[in-house]
Amino acid sequence: MAVRHQLIKRHPDAVWAVLADGRRYQEWVVGPYRSRPCEGDWPELGSTLSYSVHLGPWTLTGRTVVRRCEPPWELELEVDSGALGTARIAVEIRPWGDHSLVIMDEHPLQGPGGLVHNTVLDALFQLRHRRMLSRLAKVVESCPRQPSETA
């Protein structure tokens, strides 16, 4: 299991606003170059996004399903990458003074990733999470502040 955290210098509501916008998924998630809301009203339970990833000359498609949603604190997703298998990604947002502590936890569920899950795979997840959380911070911190954040 790979767990990583990032301090984002914005209120938890600002972090949630980005996570709750399915059109912004490819801006902070590492891998997809294109994503779009597919079924349901993101991030309601059971709603989905479809995404595309380039791997060399191949383009893979997949979908992400909301498995748990507790606004504005928790979002749990199941990423289905077809032949590569599925993974659980949990994002927790904690108030941290005037900022947010975002904790990301990912582990494979099914498929090749689940069969060969080991410390090497966790190390790769850690590298991916470092980049993903950095991207999330950049997206959130570049959004205009809401009146509730300046009070």
61, 48 Cβ separation under 8 angstroms: no
pLDDT tier for residue 92 given thresholds of 50, 70 and 90: very high
Residue partners of 124: CB distance under 8 A and separation at least 6? none
Pick the CATH number of 2-144 from 3.30.530.20, 3.90.930.12, 1.10.10.10, 3.30.70.100: 3.30.530.20
For tokens 């790979």, the residue is 2
Domain residue extents for the chain: 2-144
Planar angle of CA 90, 93, 96, nearest 5 degrees: 150
Average pLDDT over residues 47-69: 90
Which residues on neighbouring strands pair with residue 93, listed in sequence order? Answer: 102
pLDDT tens profile 121-151: 666 666 776 888 999 999 999 988 876 665 5
Write the DSSP assignment of the chain as a string of letters. Answer: -EEEEEEESS-HHHHHHHHT-GGGHHHHSSS-SEEEEEESSTTSTT-EEEEEEEETTEEEEEEEEEEEEETTTEEEEEEE-GGG-EEEEEEEEEEETTEEEEEEEEEEEESHHHHS-SHHHHHHHHHHHHHHHHHHHHHHHHSPPPHHHH-
Query: In the predicted model, is pLDDT for residue 51 greater than 80?
Result: yes
Give percent of the chain with pLDDT exceeding 90: 50
* pLDDT value of residue 53: 82
* pLDDT value of residue 144: 81
Query: In the predicted model, is pLDDT for residue 118 greater than 70?
Result: no
CA distance 89 to 104: 7
Tell me the CA distances in angstroms from 84 to 42, 73, 144, one per residue in order.
24, 29, 38
